[in-house]
Amino acid sequence: DQQVKQNSPSLSVQEGRISILNCDYTNSMFDYFLWYKKYPAEGPTFLISISSIKDKNEDGRFTVFLNKSAKHLSLHIVPSQPGDSAVYFCAASAEVGANNLFFGTGTRLTVIP
């Protein structure tokens, strides 16, 4: 059973608008959450993370929101740019180190110029 779920396999957004990617998790022990971005023919690259002691973390155009009671997190990209077109993976961890890093299935974001 998947502990991290990304229910939207794809998302299309106009350039300049906000992109919102969603992620849900089932394990209440998860306390560290990450977003990775993956271009075709490349490995995933780390984008942004958030610890469960926070409900928001911002880095430039990227903001991650965490709602622990709903077991939900989201990644906001604003303004969206064509170069943001990629697959975005949500991941979660419950223990020290990354041995137990659980990934979602990914959401393909397409930013339309």
Partner 1 sequence: ETGVTQTPRHLVMGMTNKKSLKCEQHLGHNAMYWYKQSAKKPLELMFVYNFKEQTENNSVPSRFSPECPNSSHLFLHLHTLQPEDSALYLCATGQSSSYNSPLHFGNGTRLTVT
Tokens read off for 12 = 């299309």
Residues 83-102 that bind partner 1 (CB under 8 A): 89, 96-99, 101-102
Q: Least distance in Å: CB of 42 to partner 1?
A: 5
Return the range that interacts with partner 1 (CB under 8 A); candidates 19-27, 43-51, 56-64, 68-76.
43-51
Q: Which C-beta is closer to partner 1: that of 12 or that of 45? A: 45
Q: Taking a C-beta distance cutoff of 8 angstroms, is the pair 90, 33 a contact?
A: yes
Q: Which C-beta is closer to partner 1: that of 17 or that of 54? A: 54
DSSP type of residue 51:
E
String of DSSP letters for 29-82 = T--EEEEEEE-TTS--EEEEEEETT-SEEEETTEEEEEETTTTEEEEEESS--G
Q: Taking a C-beta distance cutoff of 8 angstroms, is the pair 85, 111 a contact?
A: yes
Q: Which C-beta is closer to partner 1: that of 14 or that of 26? A: 26
Q: Which C-beta is closer to partner 1: that of 97 or that of 113? A: 97
**What is the length of the chain?**
113
Per CB under 8 A, residues contacting partner 1 are 2, 4, 9, 32, 34, 36, 41-46, 49, 51, 89, 96-99, 101-106
